[in-house]
Amino acid sequence: MLVGLTGGIGSGKSLVAELLAARGATIIDADVLAREVVAAGTPGLAAVSERFGESVLREDGSLDRGALGRIVFGDPVARRDLEAIIHPAVRARAAALSAAAPGGAVVVQVIPLLVETGQQDNFDQVVVVEVDPEVQLSRIMLRDGLDEAEAQARVRAQATREARHAAADVVLHNNGTTEDLAAAVDRLWVEWKGAGV
């Protein structure tokens, strides 16, 4: 079974992935793969450097994510250019990892921009983690050290809640406690296992 797991920034996707992994799911995290495909010495980093210049590299030749973020979050064309470099490499790596999973596994691909990149039809089920907007903003500000305007800009750069809900087979609400979310994940896992996965 191939599951696409998504949700807005600060919604709790990583926590849901951890909870599913603890129950036996194989997790493939697009954010982790996105870092791997632009690691020092990779063709991805060379392409990023060619497009955005040396200012996005640290002295040791690795990617300066902060410098790159300041460019792409303020410029939609630059963001699309970056996505055109990273997304195909991430998708290829995710497909290879999915193919290598053991038979009968529940493979969960965690993809923050699943809806934005039109991948919802590639999965047996799409699970969306949702959180109230005010909770989302406070989480982003606390976790990433951003002010409210910066946090709102990151939220606006993603698909709307309505678009994510339209793509969802399952919506997990994460406004409560970790225990509440774990219980919802348990119910989902039992449902998947009951379906013979």
pLDDT in tens, 37-52: 999 999 999 999 999 9
pLDDT band (50, 70, 90) for residue 193: confident
Residue 91 structure tokens: 């998708």
Q: What distance in Å separates the CA atoms of residue 79 and residue 69, rounded to the nearest whole number?
A: 9
pLDDT higher than threshold 70 for residue 185: yes
Split at pLDDT 50, 70, 90, the class of 196 is low
Neighbours of 54 (CB within 10 A): 8
Contact between 119 and 164 (Cβ < 8 Å): no
The pLDDT value recorded for residue 197 is 55
Q: What is the mean pLDDT of residues 121-138?
A: 93
For the chain, what percent of residues have pLDDT higher than 70? 99
